[in-house]
Structure 1
Amino acid sequence: MDLTILYRGPLASCDYDCPYCPFAKRRDTPEQLRADRAALERFTAWAAANTGDRLSVLFTPWGEGLVRSWYRRALTELSRLPHIARVAIQTNLSCRTGWLAEADTDTVALWCTFHPGQTPYDRFLAKSRELAALGVRHSVGIVGLPEHLEPARRLRAELPEHVYLWVNAAEGRSYTDEEATEWTALDPLFGYSRHPHRSAGLPCRTGASVISVDGDGTVRRCHFVRAELGNLYDGSYRAALAPRSCPLAVCDCHIGYVHLESLPLYDVFAGGVLERIPATAGPVRIRRGGSPLRLTSPPG
């Protein structure tokens, strides 16, 4: 079967101190780092051995993973396996990029976030250009705070043309239509992030073809629903995989609502769901009122 896995181990340390993130500048103890490494290596070994499924993997650590050698190694090794359709990670891109020369660029991808004030703009832009030169698929994003608007405009103007710039609505922030228009000019798909999506009772791919796995191998339908489906390593989760509706009132995070069947995002991001890359680098047609409609140009 085709199975998408969102993996989040115990790693919770980050080298940035973003004011909007609860894990900013947290330090893991050496024991915690060893536990995270062991958990990731166990998961990687399982994924490598599970050749009966076609797997897509997105690492979503609370902290920054790519400054740790075991995450770089996991992406490199998994990218080379024929039954791995995609392996991607969310990252602030503070790491070096040369290691990606050892990965299969047809499979590996990065979901990168620029955090103004945490790293020099020119350094981040140079990293994106390095990824482009290596042929590594990646998206670049920013949190939609007022003070980030000008850096975002500069990014859109200076990023490689084919690199998609996404904008996440800031948590708890309400956007006026004028503000939303400014952000939509940079990310035509901002309308999907602007408001939480009603999800209660609606069909979602999580729990059927998409699962969340933690460092102990506990399987849940997604990061946001705590009910357990079983364990990855004893195979007990398999019997629980089935179509199901969402038990939550709303879903307001992209890694959650992208899997809602009530939204067209599997078509919008076809081939790039995990790394948040639309199916085309061309323009996106926008409905009146600013909500995204559909991609209009063929894949590049």
Structure 2
Amino acid sequence: MPEAGVDLTVLYRGPLASCDYDCPYCPFAKRRDSTEQLRTDRAALERFAAWAASRTEDRLSLLFTPWGEGLVRSWYRRALTELSHLPHIRRVAIQTNLSGRTAWTAEADLDTLALWCTYHPGQTPYERFVAKSRRLAADGVRHSVGVVGLPEHLDAARRLRAELPEHVYLWINAAEGHSYTDEEAARWTAVDPLFSWSRHAHPSAGRPCRTGESVISVDGDGTVRRCHFVREELGNLYDGSYRAALRPRPCPSQVCDCHIGYVHLETLPLYDVFAGGVLERIPADW
């Protein structure tokens, strides 16, 4: 009997860890992968893309979440472009600092492709970043833009919101280890009306979450986990052993404080808030 297809969201993070930025809040700032490390990452990415292309009986939504910057590498641009044209791929998206060129998106299916873009003040000229977002918007490339909510970033975030196209959602991530007074939170909420979801970590212990059932995390070796933040292995993508492990399961962590994690909690309404744009972080009514 043929294997039944599933609706599956896959977050892929290969070994790539190099980045061209030097953000003080990131452990991978200005890291350089060796030629061999880049070759390993390319092989892993191409293996994953081939797997996704072959799963024609499934309905897949894919989010690439590299530690480093993927879009400056040709194999990420090619994988996104090719996967976007496949009818069983519902969405293919990537987190990016938008430092690379964007002309490649003209070759993709823009009904499927999406970009999750982050502006890092001090790492790239403001005008250059805004010009790229405007170009993406003019070309019909679905994308969100975001900023880490550090006090020194507030003026840049306000300027972004004023100057980006209205239909481009600007999100604010609460800075790791940073707490916000109500007055500070109100300033950020004026920029991003949904900032309250990021402001506090969400209690998750024992609560139902879609991860491990309809959402999985995959590394470069094909090891499957329920999400990036739970180390328990569910099997391997390439031998199919993960399939038997897909089932509802409560979260084993006390709290979840990252959007790519808590957005999948069933106790939160975020699948409705971001309906149609969960992976690229775009609200349904934006």
TM-score normalised according to structure 2 size: 0.98
- Alignment match, 1:255: 260
Aligned partners of 2:284, 2:22: CA distance in 1, in Å?
33
Aligned partners of 1:223, 1:14: CA distance in 2, in Å?
20
- Alignment match, 1:14: 19
Aligned partners of 1:27, 1:51: CA distance in 2, in Å?
36
The Cα shift of 1:21 comes to 0.3
The Cα shift of 1:171 comes to 0.2
Q: Over residues 71-126 of structure 1, what are the superposed CA-to-partner deviations in whole Å (9 max), with x where a residue is unaligned?
A: 00010000000000000000000011100000000000000000000000000000
The Cα shift of 1:134 comes to 1.1
The Cα shift of 1:240 comes to 0.2
Residues 119-134 of structure 1 aligned to structure 2 (within 5 Å): 119-134=124-139
Aligned partners of 1:269, 1:144: CA distance in 2, in Å?
20
The Cα shift of 1:191 comes to 0.3
Aligned partners of 2:285, 2:115: CA distance in 1, in Å?
17
The Cα shift of 1:50 comes to 0.6
Residue 37, structure 1, aligned to residue 71, structure 2: no
Aligned partners of 2:90, 2:151: CA distance in 1, in Å?
37
The Cα shift of 1:200 comes to 0.1
Aligned partners of 1:143, 1:84: CA distance in 2, in Å?
30
- Alignment match, 1:176: 181
Give the match's secondary structure for 2:95.
strand
- Alignment match, 2:165: 160
Q: Over residues 201-254 of structure 1, what are the superposed CA-to-partner deviations in whole Å (9 max), with x where a residue is unaligned?
A: 000000000000000000000000000000000000000000010000000000
Unaligned runs of 5+ in 1: 282-300
Instruction: Kindly provide the amino acid, as one letter, of the partner of residue 34 in structure 2.
Output: T
Residues 1-300 of structure 1 aligned to structure 2 (within 5 Å): 1-281=6-286
Q: RMSD of the TM alignment (CA)? A: 0.3
Instruction: Kindly provide the amino acid, as one letter, of the partner of residue 52 in structure 1.
Output: E
Aligned partners of 1:136, 1:18: CA distance in 2, in Å?
26
Instruction: Kindly provide the amino acid, as one letter, of the partner of residue 99 in structure 2.
Output: S
Aligned partners of 2:188, 2:138: CA distance in 1, in Å?
28
- Alignment match, 1:286: none
Q: In the comparison of the two structures, how many residue pairs are matched?
A: 281
Aligned partners of 1:111, 1:164: CA distance in 2, in Å?
10
The Cα shift of 1:133 comes to 1.2
Instruction: Give percent identity, aligned residues only.
Output: 84
